[in-house]
Amino acid sequence: MPTNQDFVSKVQVFEPHKASLPPLIPYVKEFWSRRTFAIELARFNDKAEYLGSRLGKVWLILNPLLLGIVYYVVIVIIRGGSDHNGLTRLNHLLIGLFTFYFAQSTVMAGAQSITLGGRLILNQAFPRTLLPFSCAIQAFREFLPTIPVYVLVLVVGKWIYPATQIAGISWNFLWIPFIIVCIAFTAFGLALLFATMNVYFRDTNKLLTYITRIWMYLSPILWLPSSLHGKAKLLLYVNPLGPALTANSRVWIDDTGLSRNVIVGCIFWAVTSMCVGGYFFISRERDFAIRI
Amino acid sequence: MPEGLAVRIEDLSITYKVSLESKRTLKNALMRASLRQESRMRTIEAVKHMTLDIPHGSVLGIVGSNGAGKSTLMRCIAGILTPTQGRVAVNGKISTLLALGVGFNPALSGRDNIILGGLASGLSKEEIESKTDEIAKFADLPDGFIDLPVRTYSSGMYGRLSFSVAVSMTPDILLLDEALSAGDAAFKEKSFERMRQLCAEARTILIVSHALATVTDLCDEAIWMHKGTMLAQGKPDKIVDEYLKFLNVGTLPSSYEDM
């Protein structure tokens, strides 16, 4: 039987917040203590998504691979030239697409996570950021198997076209965790921003479909970062994923390190996106139970 | 917070604004902005200046018509909604069943959903995994159903599973909003028994129910809420009688007219 002493340690007080943000340290502690929920939610959502599919999780690899082949046919074969340059373009396209889809899935699924998590939000008190966070984890889990696919295409391609100039394993690969972390933070911050907007304006997700498509065309995926000159290079920096995808291409394809501008660009967008998205989301999350 | 109290509510008011637009879309917002029209909002005073102490080990019933503020009050005690004014202090671990089918993904099995529901309530994975079979047993699921997708469950099974998850968290304070409507008479008796057991362990239960017999059978105290105000507090029989009179006559007793 619980005693009064047991209860005393668990007193919670709910009062109006004077500032628009709740006290951040207890919030972050609560978020961290419930991270298992986000991880398991991602795992279970992943499981549920492929339950009814005959090929199951093979789609995780097939999906981006087929998409890469479609863009390869459009961009390289139809435009001409399936030589070793074509292989370089294919590899650039694949690693760009795989990485971009990691960010896109985080943003798209995260944007819907609050409106789709209605019952959970109406029933339980927990940091709502856990729901978009779980979408980011799920997107990362889906991104990981695409790396071996890329490596396989690279190895087979190099065997067919030995003259292809694509990086093998080098010290520059040590930049990859930095790039992925920057992309994850940027995408998570944007997911928080769009998830909040989606609560207030239910057509945000429809708009997001077009935004992400345009975003992909404006990112160095279907074109090489080196094809931009002069003022056009600005495009790489005004795009939140521009610096990170440029860095991605440099490491995976060109085997070069990252320039100072690219590093600063990656960090700038990761921090800005987290601060803006986080502020927007956390300052309004107490409203979600009423709005959904 | 004084010893012996599970919940202390002091001068609590909860106010929020709702849009009067049929659909809140970006398109409508942009149209309004271009025409320099203001968004049509309505302020709802869901709970007004409420003060209440709930001791440990009590079962409090909350009755009132639709829109009385019962669910808003429960969500505020659970920490889901923030007070606009006043203060709520809660002494103990809370488990809630305020919306049926919590955390339930219909494509996943009952077992997976129990784990998700438990994790959402703040239990560790080991804790909830050790309780899964007990929860399934309490929910009276037919053999093998625990590993079938929840979409194959009947609404009764779904409700029973939700209730079982909520009561199996060994909460200090259990908040139930219309949760006892799930299940047949046998399950209802079983759930009453479980709640009596929780009370015997000095745990506190708050029940919102339109089934007034549930309130008189189970509760040792009741309150009547009307349009955000707590009109009366007392023994369940007395509160239910007064509430029933109000429902039959349609007007508030004269003693409440000024409230």
d(CA A133, CA B34): 35
Please give the DSSP secondary-structure letter assigned to residue B75. H
- Kindly state the average pLDDT of the residues B213-219: 87
**Residues of B212-238 as b/e, b for ≥16 C-beta within 10 angstroms?**
bebbbebbebbbbbbbbbbbbeeebee
**pLDDT tier at B257, thresholds 50, 70, 90:** very low
Residue A119 has its nearest CB partner, among B93, B102, B122, at: B102
Contact assessment for residue B116 and residue B163, using Cβ atoms and an 8 Å cutoff: no
Q: Which of A123, A198, A208 to mutate to test the interface with B (most CBs of B within 10 A)?
A: A123
Residue B182's pLDDT is what?
Answer: 63
Residue A269's pLDDT is what?
Answer: 97
Radius of gyration of chain A (CA): 22
CB contact under 8 Å between B90 and A126, yes or no, is no
**Bridge partners (DSSP) listed for residue B14:** B47
d(CA A212, CA B63): 49
Nearest residue of chain B to residue A200 (CA atoms): B24
Label residue A257 exposed, middle or buried (CB < 10 Å: 0-12, 13-18, 19+).
middle
- Kindly state the average pLDDT of the residues B169-189: 79
Instruction: Count helices and strands (H / E) in chain B.
Output: 8, 9
What's the gap in Å between the CA of B147 and the closest CA on chain A? Answer: 13
Please give the DSSP secondary-structure letter assigned to residue B258. T
Would you state the structure tokens that stand for residue A98, as one six-digit string? 């795989």
What secondary structure, in 3-state letters, does chain A show?
Answer: CCCHHHHHCCEEEECCCCCCCCCHHHHHHHHHHCHHHHHHHHHHHHHHHCCCCCCCCHHHHHHHHHHHHHHHHHHHHCCCCCCHHHHHHHHHHHHHHHHHHHHHHHHHHHHHHHHHCHHHHHHCCCCCCHHHHHHHHHHHHHHCCHHHHHHHHHHHHHHHCCCCCCCCCCHHHHHHHHHHHHHHHHHHHHHHHHHHHHHHCCCHHHHHHHHHHHHHHHCCCCCCHHHCCHHHHHHHHHCCCHHHHHHHHHHHHHCCCCCHHHHHHHHHHHHHHHHHHHHHHHHHHHHHHHHC
d(CA B114, CA B105): 10
Label residue B15 exposed, middle or buried (CB < 10 Å: 0-12, 13-18, 19+).
middle
Q: Which residues of A touch B78 (CB under 8 A)?
A: 123-125
Residue A4 has its nearest CB partner, among B3, B122, B201, at: B3
d(CA B119, CA A86): 49
d(CA A194, CA A208): 8
What's the gap in Å between the CA of B4 and the closest CA on chain A? Answer: 7
| Binding-face residues of A in 49-68 toward B, CB within 8 A | 51-52
Shortest CA distance to A241 belongs to which of A80, A100, A89?
A100
Residue A12 has its nearest CB partner, among B79, B97, B124, at: B79
ipTM of this predicted structure: 0.82
Residue B16 has its nearest CB partner, among A17, A121, A290, at: A290
Contact assessment for residue A272 and residue A266, using Cβ atoms and an 8 Å cutoff: no
Which residue's entry shows tokens 């409508």?
Answer: B28
Label residue A275 exposed, middle or buried (CB < 10 Å: 0-12, 13-18, 19+).
exposed
The number of residues making up chain B comes to 259
Residue A14 touches partner B, C-beta closer than 8 Å: yes
User: What residue ranges of chain A have pLDDT lower than 70?
Assistant: 1-9, 18-19, 76-84, 164, 167
Give the number of beta-carbon pairs within 8 Å between A and B.
Answer: 143
- Between CA A185 and CA A62, with CA A256 as vertex, the angle to 5 degrees is 60
Q: Quick check: helix, strand or coil at residue B107? A: coil
Residue A124's pLDDT is what?
Answer: 85
Contact assessment for residue B134 and residue B210, using Cβ atoms and an 8 Å cutoff: no
Residue A122 has its nearest CB partner, among B4, B98, B116, at: B98
Residue A79 touches partner B, C-beta closer than 8 Å: no
What's the gap in Å between the CA of B63 and the closest CA on chain A? Answer: 19
Residue A244's pLDDT is what?
Answer: 94
* pLDDT > 60? residue B237: yes
Residue B102's pLDDT is what?
Answer: 58
Tell me which of B36 and B80 has the higher pLDDT: B80
Q: Which residues of A touch B16 (CB under 8 A)?
A: 287, 290
Q: Which residues of A touch B50 (CB under 8 A)?
A: none
Residue B10's pLDDT is what?
Answer: 94
CB contact under 8 Å between A10 and B92, yes or no, is yes
Q: Which residues of B touch A137 (CB under 8 A)?
A: none
CB contact under 8 Å between B116 and A40, yes or no, is yes
User: Domains of chain B, with CATH numbers?
Assistant: 5-93+171-256 (3.40.50.300)
Nearest residue of chain B to residue A127 (CA atoms): B80
Q: Which residues of B touch A292 (CB under 8 A)?
A: none
Shortest CA distance to B208 belongs to which of B81, B48, B74?
B74
CB contact under 8 Å between A44 and B116, yes or no, is yes
Would you state the structure tokens that stand for residue A37, as one six-digit string? 């929920």
**pLDDT tier at B54, thresholds 50, 70, 90:** very high
CB contact under 8 Å between B108 and A123, yes or no, is no
Residue B120 has its nearest CB partner, among A2, A118, A124, at: A124
Q: Which residues of B touch A289 (CB under 8 A)?
A: 75, 80-81
- Kindly state the average pLDDT of the residues B121-131: 87
Residue B122 has its nearest CB partner, among A1, A34, A290, at: A34
Would you state the structure tokens that stand for residue A152, as one six-digit string? 């396989």
d(CA A51, CA A96): 28
